[in-house]
């Protein structure tokens, strides 16, 4: 089987779009220390739990965790669950390794993003889409993924519970995301759940477990060289 260029567009559908939105949010949580300090100096007020998350992620510089993600389409009401392992490294490197139900790898060195789907069998090629990382970056994403809550100018924060918060990003800073909900581990002060709700009604919910900060992650983990017999599309 030979893939046409149009076949690759499926990677830009709901699942990938919601995954990229979550990735962007997480990168934001670990990559904006200078803005954090500037915001604090200006007297930005944050709930104490979010301050501690921010401090942990800034100090740790890297994150490794297992994830379970539910993507929900407003149009079809369909839900799809994926799971795997995510790695983040400051300033904007990530490796999103989906293992179930089907393997898929999303990798970025901060400049490029590689989206790779392995072949279904030995007779077929794998699929690789390459694009500039700037296509998924947004102020909201870089705030949430890096834990840099105080860097998000104009973002309204609403407390839902002792360790649960709803964030309303300023218009023009979050793409199609209307609001985000984050749940914090009240003991370790790490993110344990993120929900992104889009203006079109689509929704992504991700639960993080086995979260480790400050782990040693080689830069080679954040670069991707496709294996032989891979169809490549650059966007």
pLDDT at 69: 92
Which residues make Cβ contacts (< 8 Å) with residue 51, sequence separation at least 6? Answer: 149, 150
Domains of the chain in sequence order: 5-224 (2.50.20.10)
Half-sphere exposure of 12 (CA within 13 A, CB side): 14
User: What per-residue confidence (pLDDT) applies to 178?
Assistant: 86
Q: What is the pLDDT of residues 7-28, one digit of tens each?
A: 333 344 455 666 666 676 666 6
Give the pLDDT band of residue 122 (cuts 50, 70, 90): confident
- CB environment 47-56: b (16+ within 10 A), e (fewer): bebbbbbbeb
What per-residue confidence (pLDDT) applies to 156? Answer: 84
Predicted confidence band of residue 177 (pLDDT cuts 50, 70, 90) = confident
> In angstroms, rounded to a whole number, what is the distance separating the alpha carbons of residues 71 and 78?
8
Residue that is written with structure tokens 């992504």 in the block: 204
- At residue 5, the pLDDT reads 32
Long-range contacts of 180-184, Cβ-Cβ distance < 8 Å, separation of 24 or more: 180/25, 180/140, 180/144, 182/144, 184/49, 184/50, 184/53
Q: Note whether 62 and 89 are within 8 A (CB).
A: yes
pLDDT of residue 140: 58
pLDDT top residue among 36 and 216 = 216
Average pLDDT for residues 172-176, to the nearest whole number? 70
| pLDDT tens digit sequence for 24-64 | 666 665 655 444 444 444 444 778 898 898 889 888 999 99
| Tens-digit pLDDT profile for residues 87-109 | 998 878 889 999 999 999 999 99
Q: How confident is the model at residue 117 (pLDDT cuts 50, 70, 90)?
A: very high
Mean per-residue pLDDT, 193-203: 90
Query: Which has more pLDDT, 29 or 221?
Result: 221
Comparing 151 with 171, which gets the higher pLDDT? 171
Judge whether 203 and 194 are in contact, CB under 8 Å.
no
């Amino acid at each position: 089987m030979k893939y046409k260029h149009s076949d690759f567009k499926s990677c830009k559908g709901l699942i990938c779009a919601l995954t990229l939105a979550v990735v962007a949010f997480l990168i934001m949580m670990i990559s904006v220390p200078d803005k954090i300090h500037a915001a604090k100096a200006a007297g930005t007020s944050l709930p104490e739990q979010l301050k501690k998350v921010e401090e942990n992620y800034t100090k740790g510089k890297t994150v490794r965790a297992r994830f379970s993600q539910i993507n929900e389409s407003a149009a079809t009401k369909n839900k799809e669950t994926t799971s795997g392992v995510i790695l983040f490294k400051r300033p904007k490197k990530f490796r999103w390794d989906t293992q179930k139900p089907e393997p898929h790898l999303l990798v970025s060195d901060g400049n490029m993003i590689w989206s790779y789907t392995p072949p279904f069998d030995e007779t077929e090629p794998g699929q690789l889409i390459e694009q500039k990382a700037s296509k998924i970056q947004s102020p909201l994403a870089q705030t949430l993924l890096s834990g840099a809550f105080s860097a998000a100018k104009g973002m309204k924060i609403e407390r839902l519970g002792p360790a649960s918060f709803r964030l309303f990003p300023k218009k023009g800073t979050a793409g199609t995301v209307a609001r985000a909900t984050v749940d914090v581990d009240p003991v370790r002060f790490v993110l344990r759940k993120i929900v992104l709700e889009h203006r079109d009604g689509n929704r992504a919910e991700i639960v993080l477990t086995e979260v480790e900060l400050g782990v040693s992650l080689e830069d080679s983990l954040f670069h991707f060289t496709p294996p032989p017999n891979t169809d490549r599309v650059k966007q």
